[in-house]
Amino acid sequence: MKPLKLPCYCGSIRQASRVVTQMYDKALKPSGVKITQFSILRLLSRFPGLTTGEMAEALVMDSTTLTRTLKIIHDSKWIASTPGEDKRERHWALTGEGQARLQEAVPLWKSAQKEFAEKMSGVDLDELTQSVFQLVQKSTEAVD
């Protein structure tokens, strides 16, 4: 069966999200990194020492999903944690192996970016990105 055009904004965006995730995961496969892991590695490379809560907020992820992904990355020895002032709090940073894995994945991610841009030719991707970000901002402001 072919994909259905859904009359629901949420359903349509979820369909698109799954397609884009699959495309990026396929491109990143040689590095062993999934796009969800890549986003976390990249975030920690720019902002080492973030807590789980800070990462969840920055990535707009629920903490349970983030915690599962952090465990996988931690078990792979790509990240390490140190305790915070509150013993339950953890600060995360890339390990040397995580930095190497990220460096291996970046060119593959750039290739996925290029593939996405080619598939979306005729669409103003800067405008699309800005529109999606506005939705994220408005949605997270409503929660605060």
pTM above 0.85, yes or no: yes
**Per-residue confidence (pLDDT) for residue 144, from 0 to 100:** 55
Chunked into runs of 10 residues, the chain (144 residues) has average pLDDT values of 91 94 98 97 98 95 94 98 87 98 98 96 93 89 63
**Per-residue confidence (pLDDT) for residue 85, from 0 to 100:** 85
100: in domain: yes
144: in domain: no
**Per-residue confidence (pLDDT) for residue 107, from 0 to 100:** 98
5: in domain: no
Domain limits for position 70: 27-107
DSSP type of residue 41? H
Six-digit token string for 8: 């629901």
User: For the chain, what is the domain count?
Assistant: 1
19: in domain: no
The CATH number of whichever domain residue 61 belongs to comes to 1.10.10.10
128: in domain: no
How far, in Å, CA of 80 to CA of 1, rounded?
44
76: in domain: yes
11: in domain: no
13: in domain: no
**Per-residue confidence (pLDDT) for residue 142, from 0 to 100:** 60
